Structure 1
């Protein structure tokens, strides 16, 4: 204990109570956690933990020994309403150790025994109030072997038991996966170095001893035990040693935080990325699949516009499919057929949606039951959900002659779980109590022994009144009364005014001014029975609850299996509901490279603006137009067209219908996106650096079957640098594999000349109509390059002051006039900065035809991009005249 005293700055001459000594010992055994220490009806926190909790939870900070020189900070929360406080702390990244009383205080001799019964961390919670219903909550582990330059990453949703992982040959790929799956918590071995560029993830990391968590042998034993497998061959892990290490680390961490065996983890299957359309974190962010560019969820995201699922399981499955669509044509078409089946049957879908609304989260309910973290309400919700299964099956069995293959397979595997459902129906009262130790859980008739105890506790007053009436009639005591107080318990009372004499078997207990109080042997016996019946009832209900819980936990695999079935049904009907409401069509998919979209729409923008205000667009990418170079002013809609095409391809490969009049999609293996401006200044990365990093990844990883959307490459640097980079990127994308499918939006009109030189490149632009001094964005994608940038008009629409807009027009007119006359000097109302104009005037207006001499005299430090471009134009004209 001395080390604990030193840590909390407790002088050695201060005597601590046995309770605080116990607290410090348990706190020392659980470093890095906030210790919730059960004392009666409260969880108390002391010392630094109390200061942190009071500050984070905005609750009162008090102190123990308030009149002492050495005050001990403390705060507390009621144990029966601590869930909201725990949720707040977990959201802020804290770990909480729950220290409960592990013996009955009434039977304890001396200090009540306490122990940590579980440790709550952001990645290991299973309680409903701490989780988002339609989102997975992942705990991740990673390991990197520097000698082999090889590593692995694994992620598990403890609340559902789902887990997977893979080995990788590049550490940058591990970080890509972390950003994609967004784990709440990450386990890594001590000494693992987080690169500065990923420093913002540091708060999610838990560093643990490598020797105990990532040991190869112990990890193998843990994995085989949890999975019930004889060898790693069964799990496809024999040749994946690093993946075995982190699977073991995940299991050990879960066991230590749960403080017990697991028993609910799903069969582990290594992830095979080759089977899915790969979408990296940058693409998911740029396309705003799950979150907007600002990081918000909900409106503005694709999943918000798409999601018509009813159940939490269906919502999570939708997110999984949306971030990892399939590449196998057969799988995609099977899913399309299911969506088509439900789309064609509006009444069936409506009835099905109504039943699904009464279905709770079977996956997480089953997990809480298996882990002994459930309440009576969880069992009731599970019972209600299982009662729905026969109704859903009955709806699905209709029109069985037209069932798609997937539906036939699901119905063959259907399990109503009738035996479990019947047990829960007969057992759990509705509504049940929240606490399992106070009784009131079970229905009458479930247990004969319990019924007798319930009869005593619920009808005890009736039996007391019956005894009173018997005494009154047998001994002619009509004025005899029955009373109760805490000191004597129940008693009979005769008033002196009645003039009646107590029978011989009455035992005097108390004399009052107004009368006498008595007890009898029958009264004492009945009172003892009633008092013990309440305790016996609570104890019996607690035992019965554990029996029912264990029985239910034994059906964990069956429950999880049907949860999976319902998730898929919900997924298909949800996509059908979206297709019906938004008028989407079934896309054709093939193994070719063509992408044809007729009247395509961006689903998110259409949801926000409304169908009537949205202008659809056609697009065709074939062997002669694999790379589309799209020009047009800002705000015209170039980025919308780019994103729309990528989103339609993603939707198609997840089996969904798409927002178009018609669509034919050649399968993609990856979708890459470089859209918008962003930076990472905290890590020393400018907007242009981020842009080039993302572009480099695309150029290195893109294949023949990839789809690439690029927006404004090169705009973050000087005109010539940016133009040169954009030019080279276009040439690279058109020169490989006969051209990689790319939509390339740009303001560099110089690139449009490439159409004459590159066979697979075509120019397109977003149409704009000029009306007087205004411009009208037509939002239509048409062939050919844009004739103007309309930058000044867009600036005016954006609210740039009129004086600045007017002056910009004057300067633009002057620049265009000088360009047409092959002169460089800009006529101005007020002279421009001489440092910018004089060097160029002196150098370009010389009569010398020696270009090398003129080049040597150029002052590059003072040369603007526009001046440089005009200089080149002047030199070229001089050469042509020669």
Structure 2
């Protein structure tokens, strides 16, 4: 057995080998140590008295699905080694083979997947000699796959980060760029000849997709993308041990049809994850997702990743969403029905791959029972209105309620089938005549035995006959010895006891044979019938996939409508121009967290002439919120959603870029400022007049002069780009930039209004025309809880800086020596040191500053006498020089 184990392990070196032994999966040697540690199960040994005992651990075979997700989540691959022959018929060692290798990117079981998330396996190939590469990714659980071809390797890795696959395939000659080093743990390096070779990839693609050449897949002119696709197919065949006919037709991603959001923009706008990496509340996804089916949720994610760039599909979606908004009763009825639908895509995939459980078939049956009700709801709504959207009519024309399969599954499946297909109890009475007879025997065998007993009593006239059973003789009829002479001729004696005789009869023996074999025969027949049913459904998978797509579209539209109604959004007007006019716009995520009553809407206007809004104002006033809400509203509009605004006219964008927040990548030697400049460089290289750019605090990570110069140059470049500049919202603390409004016609000054009240500031959260007069940084620091001595000292320094700035001229940066003379008086020349006057008290010693701080912090209303005495004693013992008290 160990020889067999080691041979199979050698063939699958990169995976934990789950070796089937009877009712358990066993692991040995290093695999056992790893599994025992990560699964927190007992580690034992085989032959513990041996000189070198073999470590081992195991799990029950029926509990496999409870343990495997934990290993996959930790990044392990698992090779399932099953017995491939009947142990009863095996001669010697039972034959075993690896029937499947489970990896994080190829699982199809719900226990290892998130319902509304895709689970991608990706492959990247880049040919540096031809300056071209391809990236392909597949969701094996649904069969959907696509990819892109690009000239720059960095662009492929940007898309890789955006796709966020569970596993990545790379040629061994490749390496992960330093900037994307966080993806290294997901990478599997594969040899080019067997995975990425072009001729082999072409052959594998044509075979898997059942096409004569690559023109049908739009891959004839994309050799590098073809090689990436070939690597995916090789890996899937290696791990799944079967053909890949369930994959959908490959469709390259046409970037020209979509608004491009790079991975930095997705992160900065918190579309799927918050900046802290968390999901759920605080993301745009959480606000928009009102879908009820896994298919609808995944479609929403695809739309958010790749919004449309053309008006036609956007308006098509808008019309459908508007229809569901107007017809609330129909929407509510549809939501009730959609809530009963399971994941048709993944269910049909598991059935096709022979990975389905009886519970999967039950979920399929329950889903199909709902389809006629959904169809009736749609038909009634379309008939009752003259304004049914064209998209909804087209969807309904091709509707297939799959009534034939629904009726078959209702007739066939039991209402509460077991988890395992070998346990029996899968089918109803009436599905199969042979099975009905076996069901009758197994479920009503006791009654038939009692009927036989009553018949024998009546025929023999012996009322004291009893029916019994033991393992030696099986069923028997027991008669008291006093009545043994009266037994019929067909009674055959089997055993004599002290007070009775035991007999069998031909009818009892025949019935016994049927009863004892009925259970095994029933399980075997049900297993056969189950596989036949699975095969028939698998042949119709294209029908299930088609309906899954229609249900996903319905769910997507109604979900956006539900979100629009719940959050009071409006339908935007989209056009091919450059105008961006948002009236009373809100940030949907911030509003969802704070509540609509606490949110102050703002207007944003960009047009052909004013394409760059220069926004000033203090920190915490809401500059970043205004920037992000403009970008988010544009994204929502271009997926066909309503938007959080009273009115919105949006010129289509081809790309959205964002540079907000502070982040670093210290592991790669990149400071906050370096990351900021890299992201700014990407924007300046790729943005054009149809793009929308939001920039927050460019240049703040370096000195005043450098930062101001960079921010100034960036504004000028954005205004000069293309014909009339790039549409930009630019937030800054450099008030000096506001003079650009007088020299650059594309620039328009705005600020976030604040109000001073009794020495404090009140944030009005309102975007108003004109520049801000101050930064209010010290006031914000005070609100944040900075100690009062620090705030007071900062005000003194600010006052001196402002006085020196006036000497240099209005709106000019303060010179470095002047700043240094205030902050570092000990390092200046004697002639430059400030003269202390009555109006300018001397600086306090550290001890005196400590005393003043403690005195300021005292709450005398809560101070007890003993506490006051202790404080006075402490101060009296402090080493305070007399001159500090003068």
Instruction: Provide TM-score, normalisation by structure 1.
Output: 0.91
Match of 1:6 in 2: none
Aligned mates of 2:828, 2:474 — CA distance in 1: 105
Match of 2:741 in 1: 755
Match of 2:718 in 1: 733
Q: Is the 8 A contact 1:825 1:841 kept in 2?
A: no
Match of 2:137 in 1: 155
Question: Which of 697, 702, 707 pairs up with 2:682?
Answer: 697
Q: Is the 8 A contact 1:814 1:827 kept in 2?
A: no
> Are residues 1:713 and 2:704 paired?
no
Q: Is the 8 A contact 1:633 1:789 kept in 2?
A: yes
> Are residues 1:640 and 2:625 paired?
yes
Match of 1:112 in 2: 94
Match of 2:274 in 1: 292
Match of 1:347 in 2: 329
Match of 1:468 in 2: 453
Q: Is the 8 A contact 1:376 1:435 kept in 2?
A: yes
> Are residues 1:482 and 2:467 paired?
yes
Q: Is the 8 A contact 2:309 2:652 kept in 1?
A: yes
Q: Deviations over 1:420-442 (max 9, x none)?
A: 22222211111222111111111
SS of 1:82 mapped into structure 2: helix
Match of 2:347 in 1: 365
Match of 1:430 in 2: 415
Aligned mates of 1:408, 1:418 — CA distance in 2: 21
> Are residues 1:799 and 2:781 paired?
no
> Are residues 1:241 and 2:227 paired?
no
Match of 2:205 in 1: 223
Q: Is the 8 A contact 2:330 2:381 kept in 1?
A: no
Q: CA RMSD in A?
A: 2.1
Aligned mates of 1:509, 1:48 — CA distance in 2: 57
Write out aligned runs for 1:195-594 (5 A). Answer: 195-400=177-382, 401-495=386-480, 505-513=490-498, 515-594=500-579
> Are residues 1:132 and 2:123 paired?
no
1:615 and 1:443, CA in 2 relative to 1: closer, same or farther beyond 3 A?
same
Q: Deviations over 1:406-458 (max 9, x none)?
A: 11111111111222222222111112221111111111111111111111111
1:346 and 1:831, CA in 2 relative to 1: closer, same or farther beyond 3 A?
closer
Aligned mates of 1:392, 1:832 — CA distance in 2: 73
Aligned mates of 1:807, 1:36 — CA distance in 2: 68
Aligned mates of 2:39, 2:791 — CA distance in 1: 52
Q: Deviations over 1:647-669 (max 9, x none)?
A: 00000011000000000000100
SS of 1:398 mapped into structure 2: helix
Question: Which of 810, 824, 828 pairs up with 1:837?
Answer: 828
Q: Is the 8 A contact 2:460 2:486 kept in 1?
A: no
1:502 and 1:62, CA in 2 relative to 1: closer, same or farther beyond 3 A?
farther
Match of 2:871 in 1: none
Q: Give 1:624 deviation, angstroms.
A: 3.0
Q: Deviations over 1:712-752 (max 9, x none)?
A: 11111111111111111111001112110001111111111
SS of 1:77 mapped into structure 2: strand
Aligned mates of 1:289, 1:599 — CA distance in 2: 21
> Are residues 1:42 and 2:27 paired?
no
Q: Give 1:768 deviation, angstroms.
A: 0.8
Specify every segment of 5 or more residues in structure 1 that has no aligned partner in the other structure, as ranges: 1-18, 844-882
Q: Is the 8 A contact 1:285 1:293 kept in 2?
A: yes
Q: Is the 8 A contact 1:510 1:518 kept in 2?
A: yes
Higher mean Cα deviation, 655-664 or 110-119? 110-119
> Are residues 1:58 and 2:58 paired?
no
Q: Give 1:187 deviation, angstroms.
A: 1.1
1:354 and 1:839, CA in 2 relative to 1: closer, same or farther beyond 3 A?
farther
Q: Deviations over 1:78-118 (max 9, x none)?
A: 21122121111111111011111112222322222211111
Q: Give 1:535 deviation, angstroms.
A: 1.4
Aligned mates of 1:250, 1:73 — CA distance in 2: 35
Q: Is the 8 A contact 1:216 1:244 kept in 2?
A: yes
Question: Which of 54, 58, 63 pairs up with 1:76?
Answer: 58
1:409 and 1:831, CA in 2 relative to 1: closer, same or farther beyond 3 A?
closer
Aligned mates of 1:111, 1:839 — CA distance in 2: 96
Aligned mates of 2:158, 2:816 — CA distance in 1: 51
Q: Give 1:753 deviation, angstroms.
A: 1.2
Q: Is the 8 A contact 1:814 1:826 kept in 2?
A: no
Match of 1:26 in 2: 8
Q: Is the 8 A contact 2:797 2:822 kept in 1?
A: no
SS of 2:828 mapped into structure 1: helix
Q: Give 1:341 deviation, angstroms.
A: 0.7
SS of 2:608 mapped into structure 1: coil
Match of 1:122 in 2: 104
> Are residues 1:812 and 2:798 paired?
yes
Match of 2:601 in 1: 616
Q: Deviations over 1:240-266 (max 9, x none)?
A: 111111112111211221111122111
Question: Which of 740, 754, 760 pairs up with 1:768?
Answer: 754
Aligned mates of 1:809, 1:613 — CA distance in 2: 31
Aligned mates of 1:834, 1:809 — CA distance in 2: 17
1:760 and 1:540, CA in 2 relative to 1: closer, same or farther beyond 3 A?
same
Q: Give 1:572 deviation, angstroms.
A: 0.5
Q: Is the 8 A contact 1:815 1:826 kept in 2?
A: no
Q: Is the 8 A contact 1:123 1:138 kept in 2?
A: yes
Aligned mates of 1:259, 1:66 — CA distance in 2: 36
Q: Deviations over 1:391-419 (max 9, x none)?
A: 11111112423221111111111111222
Match of 1:654 in 2: 639
Match of 2:615 in 1: 630
Q: Give 1:205 deviation, angstroms.
A: 0.8
Q: Give 1:225 deviation, angstroms.
A: 1.6
Q: Deviations over 1:193-218 (max 9, x none)?
A: 11222222111111122101112122
Q: Is the 8 A contact 1:96 1:121 kept in 2?
A: yes
Aligned mates of 1:497, 1:599 — CA distance in 2: 103
Match of 2:868 in 1: none
Match of 2:811 in 1: none
Match of 2:581 in 1: 596
Aligned mates of 2:422, 2:150 — CA distance in 1: 49
Q: Deviations over 1:763-808 (max 9, x none)?
A: 1111111111211111000111111111111112112122222222
Aligned mates of 1:799, 1:56 — CA distance in 2: 45
Aligned mates of 1:821, 1:253 — CA distance in 2: 71
Aligned mates of 1:489, 1:218 — CA distance in 2: 63
Match of 1:96 in 2: 78
1:825 and 1:700, CA in 2 relative to 1: closer, same or farther beyond 3 A?
closer
Specify every segment of 5 or more residues in structure 2 that has no aligned partner in the other structure, as ranges: 809-813, 835-886
Aligned mates of 1:129, 1:717 — CA distance in 2: 49
Aligned mates of 1:47, 1:384 — CA distance in 2: 45
Instruction: Provide TM-score, normalisation by structure 2.
Output: 0.90
SS of 1:525 mapped into structure 2: helix
